[in-house]
Each structure stands twice: as structure tokens, then as C-alpha cells.
A and B are shown apart, each in its own frame.
Chain A
Amino acid sequence: MRYLYYPGCSLKGTGRAYEESMLAVFQALDVLVEELPDWNCCGATAYMAVDELKAFALAARNLALAERMDTDTPPADLIAPCNACYLVLNKAQRYITENESIGNKIHTALAAGDMTYSGGVHVRHPLDILLHDIGVERIKTAVKKPLEGMRVACYYGCQIVRPYATFDDQYNPTSMNQLMWALGAETVDWPLKTRCCGGSLTGTIEELGHRLSFILVKEAINRGANIIATSCPLCHFNLECYQKQWQTRYHDDAHMAVAYFTQIMGMAFGIEEKRLGMRRLFVPPAYIAAVS
């Protein structure tokens, strides 16, 4: 199996651990992943607000690049690990192919840069690839250290199942839970698994953004979890990096390990910490190792 990989800006920055651990996990499962050359920003949520067409054009350039690549089995599968990139690329794909007026404008714009896009790329999330292409059985065979005692709150965030639930249930997604079970971990029943983490509001309207992510962590603790697994760099940042600030802000302790689901998989596969980006986490890896 071979896939194209679209990192997006965050996986080269705050979400580096996600990139590192994901690549390590795919390698352990003998899956070839090739980074899309010269990719650009996906268009992201903030851009949409300013100019939707340009946001679609940004996404379209990436899709066109992917389509141009020589892949084993067209249509190309493009992995987008960041939830926001995943949504924006998918949304652009839909609007370009389904809305004639937008499609025409984007095709004209691409032509200005000597590019074409015929709509053949399939944008996919690593959760989808791991569960449906590789499968739980294959993953089980790679487990070297079953994660007994780990009680995971699987956090999907908003944008992988909303608005386009293509690979999992919109209201009660379970793909990450299934992966965690395959690793020998337990998952907790946590009704907030698709509730918004606050997105970029934590950086703009702090009071509001922080509360959204704070209540997620708080409830995960109430539900008996000892770690939160994430699938998006922004969610991860919001849940992880402000924990200390919450103490002063809310006079309430909401301290909990937060790791990318790929890091947790890597741990179960026995991949060394360095390759999983463990040292880039706020909560010490030793602590995470201790709970498992």
C-alpha cells in the first residue's frame, strides 16, 4: 500500500509529534507514505471567512498536485491528518465538483497557474486508512506492548465527521475506539467526543475558547479516563497546552495526559519514544507510560 500525504502547516509546527508518530506507525505497518511535493496551506477555516473562493483555490491546487502525481491506483488517496485540512480539502472537493459556478471559477483560476484538476482525488483521514484499509487484525499483530490499564477518552473533534461523515458515524464515531481496543486499551464513554474544542477561539477570544476545551478535559476526568487521544493538531493544542493556565483561570484542576492517537499506537507497537515525538508533549511521556 502506498499513499500520498498532505501534512498541512500544523504538522510541520505545533503538531510535529503527530507527523512523526503517524509516519512511524505507518512504517511499522509496512505502509508507504509519500509527502505531496510543494503543497500549500489547505485554505483553512480562517481563510474561508475572508474569501471562500480563494480558500477553495488553495485547496484545489493541492488536489491538482495530488492528481498529477504518479500513483499506483488512481484515483489518488490523499492522507490529511489534520481535521481542519481534512474538512477543507473535502469541502473544496465537493463544492468544485458539485457546484457548477464555483467549479468553473476554480478551473479558470487553476488554468492561470497552468494546472488542471479533474476531481479524481480521494481525501482521507489516517483513522479511516488504519481502520478500513489496514484493519484491526493487522494492527493487532503489530502490538508488542498491549496497553493494559490505559483508559482512553477518544476525542474526534468536530471536523472529521461533520459535516461529511464518510467513514464513521456522525453522532457516535467509533473508529478511534476500535483502534484503541485493538491495542489492548479501554475506552471511556464520553459524550463530548465530537464536541468543539474551541478551535482558534482559544487564541482570539480566550475566555470563550478556553472554557470549551476546559470542560472537555474536565468531563474526561469525570468519566474515568487517564489519557485523551486526539486526531487533530489544533484540538491537541487546545486540550494540552492551556492546562496550566486553567488552574489560575478556573481555580480548578484539569490535568490530564493528551496524546495523538498515533503516538498511543506507536507506544503499543514498541516504537521508541523519540520517533513518536513524545518529548514534544507537555505531559511527560513517563507519566503516559506509567498509566499503561
Chain B
Amino acid sequence: MDFRKAKRKIKYESELDSHFAKEIVEKAGCEDLFHCIQCGTCGGACPISAYMDYTPRRIVAMTREGLKQDVLESYSIWLCASCYSCAVECPKQIKITDIMYALKQKAIEEGRYPRRFPVTVLAREFFKSVFAKGRNNEGILMTKVLLKTNPLKIFKQALLGLKLWRQGRIGLHSDVIQNRDELRKILSALD
């Protein structure tokens, strides 16, 4: 035990962001943020809560109370695998998965995530590929993610990749859609 690691945990009102919750509750699917009774069903139902720094319930509470920095810098929001167990079981029918999405978007918007964090890298690479080609190639995507996060792992997964290639399940050829312009116009209209 190292007492020198003791850290001040108190929160002063001036450190909280009173607009944060209002911003999140405005987002699609997050309307019920304030209905949460902190029962913890989400944390119990979540197959990943065991690995989170804050359980989904705490994320909701922290969001509501304006602990913006702690929420956006927590890795809980990035661990969410979108299995919707929490949302389905929530007795107040809060769409917790959508709240997680809103928080991820917010974190990306504000640049508050680890640069080489695979989840965000995957999201960005995926986004780029779809914008350019309209479709996504899993093999290329995973290679890019590995390159940008942990290049050493490429060797580890090389055998698996080779096997998949032999089975015709991955390839270096990317599918491209015909009307790329149409798609880009649609996406750009939302900027």
C-alpha cells in the first residue's frame, strides 16, 4: 500500500459542467436520461461492466451531475459493445446504449480519447473507408487498425489472416459502389 498515491476525490460545484447533461439529453435516444433511479439493472445486465472503470449506472449519474471530464475520459463508454442488454432490461426504459453513443460522439468531438486507442481508431478508419468507397473491407480495416495501434500484433494475427485468405474470406480487393457521388452528397449534406 502506498499512501503517497492518495488522491483528492472531492468535487466542487465549480468543477462540474452544468450544461453537459442538457447537451446529452437533447441527443436522439437520450431523452430519458433524467428518469434513471440508479437501480443498477444496467450494470448487472452488462456483460462488460466487470471491466469498466465506471458501471453504466455511474456513467448516467455522472453525466447528470455534470462530471463531464470524468465521463468523457472514462474508458467505460468505449467498452460498450452495443449489445443493448441494458436498454432492454432498464425498468425505466432508458436507451442506455444510445446514451453511450452520444457520449462517444461527444468525446470524439472534443478530442478526448487516447490517440492510439483501438476503438476510436477503428471508428475513424471505418468512417474513412465508407466515405470513400461506400463499403468496408474487414481485412483491410483490421490491418489498418493494428498498424495504427499495435503494429507488433500484425505478426500475431498473420497466421489467422493467411488462413482466412486461403478460405476466400478476406482479400485486398475492396468493393466499391457505383454511385459514390450520390452517397457523398448525402453524407456531406449533414455536415
Residue positions of A touching B, CB distance < 8 A: 9-10, 12-17, 38-41, 44-54, 57-58, 60-61, 87, 95, 99, 101-102, 105, 108-115, 158-159, 162-163, 170, 195-196, 198-201, 203-205, 208-209, 212, 241-242, 245, 279-282
Q: Within the complex, which residue of A14, A87, A199 is in contact with B164, where a contact is CB–CB below 8 Å?
A: A14
Shortest distance from the beta carbon of A52 to any chain B beta carbon, whole Å: 6
Q: How large is the interface on B (under 10, 10 to 19, 20 to 34, 35 or more residues)?
A: 35 or more
Q: Which residue of B lies closest to A163 (CB)?
A: B84
Shortest beta-carbon distance, A182 to chain B, in Å? 28
Closest to A14 in B: B169
User: Which residues of B in the span 106-122 have a Cβ within 8 Å of any Cβ on A?
Assistant: 108, 118-119, 121-122
A48 to B123, CA, bound (A): 9
User: Which one of B95, B142, B182 contacts A203 once the chains associate, using CB atoms below 8 Å?
Assistant: B142
In the assembled complex, B14 has its CB within 8 A of some CB on chain A = no
Q: Which of A109, A201, A204 contacts B187 (CB 8 A)?
A: A109
Chain A CB count within 10 A is highest, among B104, B163, B179, for: B179
Question: In the complex, A69 Cα to B183 Cα: how many Å?
Answer: 18
Q: How far is the CA of A41 from the CA of B135 in the complex (A)?
A: 5
B122 touches A158 (CB 8 A): no
Q: Is the interface of A mostly helix, strand, loop or mixed?
A: helix
Identity of the chain B residue whose Cβ is nearest the Cβ of A110 in the assembled complex:
B186
22 residue pairs bridging A and B, Cβ less than 8 Å apart: A9-B138, A13-B170, A14-B138, A40-B135, A49-B105, A51-B105, A52-B27, A52-B28, A52-B105, A57-B189, A110-B186, A113-B179, A113-B181, A158-B81, A163-B84, A196-B81, A203-B118, A203-B122, A204-B145, A205-B79, A208-B51, A281-B167
* Contact between chains at A49 and B135 (CB < 8 Å): no
Chain A residues near B179 (CB-CB < 8 A): 38, 113
Residues of A within 8 A of B85 (CB): 158, 162, 195-196
